[in-house]
Amino acid sequence: MNRQADFPILGRQVHGRRLVYLDNGATTQKPQAVIDAEARYYRESNANIHRGVHWLSQHSTDLYDRSRERVRGFLNARHAEEIVFTRGTTEAINLVAASWGRNNLKAGDEILLSGLEHHSNIVPWQMVAGQTGAVIRVIPVTDDGELDMRAYAGLLNERTRFVGACHVSNALGTINPVADIVRLAHEAGAVVLIDGAQAVAHQTVDVQALGCDFYAFSGHKLYGPTGTGALYGRKALLDAMPPWQGGGDMIHTVSFERSTYAETPQKFEAGTPNIAGAIALDAAIAYVQEVGLEHIAAHEDALLQYAGAALAGIPGLRFIGQARERAAIASFVVDGIHPHDLGTILDMEGVAIRAGHHCAMPLMTRFGLPGTARASFALYNTFEDIDTLVAGLHKARRLFGMEQSA
Ligand code: PMP
């Protein structure tokens, strides 16, 4: 697959070198179709939604609704009302924590989180735990970077009210057995949220097949704009949850004594949303669907295999996270070179990787590391990109006096 030409930024140079962008776990680049969709919206369709009697407002509302329907189909949700637009995964999880969590958890209840979680699926729950007296427990991670499913089954009990787990770990690439996680949680009577931030760009997601109660993702990791994303929630749950932010667009009636609220999902979308972003997200998902997630997954898998073999040839390099099921991420350390130094040296070669704790400090602590270097792949990456990464790593070792000059 060679789709580099669809992404204008990939034509630019960094430090005089061809940009090799391997930081897709942080955010993906945008295809021309997405850039055009956002510009076209402002050029031709801009008006506030749900308010105007005028044509342009209705047109803008139609485009916004069409995007919601696109997201519904993308996740295979049953109803469009089950899709709440958010600023991204972080806001989606905060919505669930603030609305469902604060109103359903009480002292002594248990919140069970996977040890692979990004801070955005930890901190909101700590805040709710502080407010309600609920207790956080953690599903341990094996040396290979997989969730210990036996320990998980042992941790579930009648006090477990909520389970939170990522679909794919942003730090290690581990693909979690989400359907099993959901099934066991439901058997224990718990509600389950799956953080899909690192999954939706790499594999087909079917929320009905997974059976989860909530599923969150960010548009910007899916070739769409920043500040976009969605929360899927089962309708019965969303209907029973109170709004978490008040303002325009989320109400039915307002008086100074009391207000009544709009239906799901409007009651969770207070204020003017990122309309242009939602419409560009529609274009991003259409782009991914056109390329085909099965082709993307196969291509990224080939890249991961190729990178695995090539990186293994670098003396002193150790992979962190060797789960049997992994997606699009190679996380590693190199003996004697701090990940930040690796990142800086690679940057001078035009290679963008991520170095650090990846917003997963507890997981890094689990592996006794301050951080790792992470190369994360997208549909536009090539084998040549990986060759450039490997050459850069050899150069780093030479600069640190660990290799003779070629
Ligand atoms: N969860 C995971 C697994 C992530 O990788 C990220 C982003 N790195 C987030 C949540 C947070 O996403 P956002 O910053 O787009 O809200």
Residues 358, 261, single domain; the answer is no
If you measure from the C-alpha of residue 8 to the centroid of ligand 1, how many angstroms do you get, rounded to a whole number? Answer: 24
The percentage of residues in the chain with a pLDDT greater than 70, rounded to a whole number, is: 100
Given 221, 254, 289, the domain boundary residue is 289
359 is catalytic: yes
Checking if the pLDDT of 406 tops 80, the result is no
Q: What is the tally of structural domains in the chain?
A: 2
What pLDDT is recorded for position 52?
78
| Chain mean pLDDT for the chain | 97
379 and 358 share one domain: yes
- pLDDT tens per residue, range 276-306: 999 999 999 999 999 999 999 999 999 999 9
Per-residue pLDDT, averaged over 54-63, amounts to 97
Residues 166 and 124 in one domain: yes
173 plus 210 within the same structural domain = yes
Catalytic residue among 359, 363, 375, 389: 359
- The response to whether residue 228 sits with its C-beta less than 6 Å from ligand 1 reads no
Scored b (16 or more CB within 10 A) or e, 370-405 reads: ebbbbbbbbbbbbeebbebbbebbebbbeebeebee
Q: Report the SS3 class of residue 286.
A: helix
Instruction: Determine the structural domain holding residue 318 and report its residue range.
Output: 4-30+292-399
Determine, yes or no, domain membership for 404. Answer: no
333 lines ligand 1 (CB under 6 A): no
- What is the Å distance from ligand 1's center to 89 Cα? 6
Is the beta carbon of 86 within 6 A of some atom in ligand 1?
no
Question: Could you tell me if 115 and 184 lie in one domain?
Answer: yes
Question: Does residue 406 fall inside a structural domain?
Answer: no
Query: Are 277 and 339 members of one domain?
Result: no
133 with 254, same domain? Answer: yes
Q: Is 55 in contact with 83 (CB distance < 8 Å)?
A: no
pLDDT of residue 405: 66
Write down the pLDDT at residue 169.
98
The answer to whether the CB of 94 is under 6 A from ligand 1 is no
Residue 168 falls inside a structural domain? yes
CA–centroid distance, residue 169 to ligand 1 (Å): 10
Please count the other Cβ atoms lying within 10 Å of the Cβ belonging to residue 260: 10
The CA-based diameter of the chain, rounded to the nearest angstrom, is 78
DSSP H helices in 260-360: 275-291, 293-312, 339-348
Question: Are residues 285 and 359 both part of a single domain?
Answer: no
Question: What is the value of pTM for the model shown?
Answer: 0.98
- Considering the domain boundaries, does residue 405 fall inside one? no
Q: Are 187 and 336 in a shared domain? A: no
Residue 133 maps to which CATH number? 3.40.640.10
Is residue 212 in a domain?
yes
147 with 50, same domain?
yes
Average pLDDT over residues 22-27: 98
| pLDDT recorded at residue 51 | 78
Tens digits of residue pLDDT in 334-361? 999 999 999 999 999 999 999 999 999 9
